[in-house]
Amino acid sequence: MNKTSTFSYILTKLTATFFLLLLISTLLLTTSQPTLYSFLAGLRELLYFPFVPFLAVYAIFCSICIDKLKLKTYTRLKTLLLYIFCGYLFFLPFLIFKEADLIQFLFLGSIGAVCSLSFYLCTVIATKFKWIQYFVPSIMFIIFITIHLVDIARVGTSKEQWVETKTDNSFEASFQHFSGEHKVPIELKRGDILEFTIESQAENSNGYIGDIKMASEFQEEENYLAPAGPNTYHFAAIKTGTYYIIVSGNQSKGKLKIDWNIK
C-alpha cells in the first residue's frame, strides 16, 4: 500500500467515524423538541464527552481488524455479520459486570449493530466517492471550531415578554418564553459563602428550567457549586469579584425567583 492509498484509507475511516458521530449527535439532540441553545449546548457536551474518543477508536480499530481478515467466500455477508458482532461486543462488558440484564444488552447491542452498519456503509460510500473523504471531515472541523468559539448563550438564548426585578438579595422574572441562559450577577469577596434558592413556576407542560451553574469574571464555569437541599445551593468564592448564577431554560413559560444570602 503506497502513501497515497494509505492516506485515502485512513481518511475513509475518519470520514466514517465523523459521519457516525454526526448521526448519533443529530438523533440524540433532535428527539426532544430542541431549541437552538439546547442543540448547540448538547452538541458541545456530546462532542467533548470523554466517552466519544473511546467510541471513535473502537470503531476504527474494529473496522481495520475486519479489513485485515482474508475473507474468500461470501465476503460482503461475512463483513456485515462481523460489523454486527462488533456492535454487540461493545456492550458486552455491561452484561458481564451486571450493569445490564440480557434484555437491556440485546437492546443496546441492536443499537450498536445499527451504528456499526452505518459506519460500514459510510466507508463503502467514502471509498466510492472520494470527495466525501474531504467533505465530511471538513464539516466536522468547522463544527468543532464553531461550537468552541461561538458564545452559545448569546446566540442561542431567546426571551419573550421578559420582565425582571432585582434587589440586593433576590431576583424575580416573569416571561412568556425563555430558552437559553440568563445570568444573575452577584458581587462576592474572597471566602464568602453564597447560599441561594431557586423557585420556578412553569405554565406550559413542555417547558422547563434546566441546569443551574455558577460562572465568574474569571472563568466560564465555577466548580465550587454544591447542592444544600431542595432547590438550594452553596457556593464558595475563592476570589473577590463578580459572580453569576446561571439559569437555563428550554421553551419555558412562567416565573422564576432566586433568593440568596451571603455568609
pLDDT tens per residue across span 132-175 = 888 888 888 888 887 777 777 676 788 889 999 999 899 999 99
Residue 160 in contact with residue 176, Cβ under 8 Å?
A: yes
Grid cell for residue 77: 455477508
Cβ neighbour number for residue 124 with a 10 Å cutoff: 13
Interval 44-54: pLDDT, tens:
777 777 788 88
Q: Return the bridge partners of 181, or none.
A: 248
User: Residue 91 phi/psi, 5° resolution?
Assistant: -95, 0
Q: Domains plus CATH for the chain? A: 3-154 (no CATH), 158-262 (2.60.120.380)
Of 196, 211, 202, the residue nearest 246 (C-alpha): 211
Cα separation, 263 vs 260, whole angstroms: 10
How much is the mean pLDDT over the chain?
A: 85
180 vs 53: CA distance, rounded Å: 28
Mark residue 74 as left, alpha or beta (left: phi above 0; alpha: psi -120 to 50; beta: remaining). Answer: left
Chain centroid to CA 175: 27
Model's pTM, two decimal places?
0.67
d(CA 65, CA 61): 6
Length of the chain: 263
Q: For residue 105, give the 3-state DSSP assignment.
A: helix
Residue % of the chain over a pLDDT of 90: 33
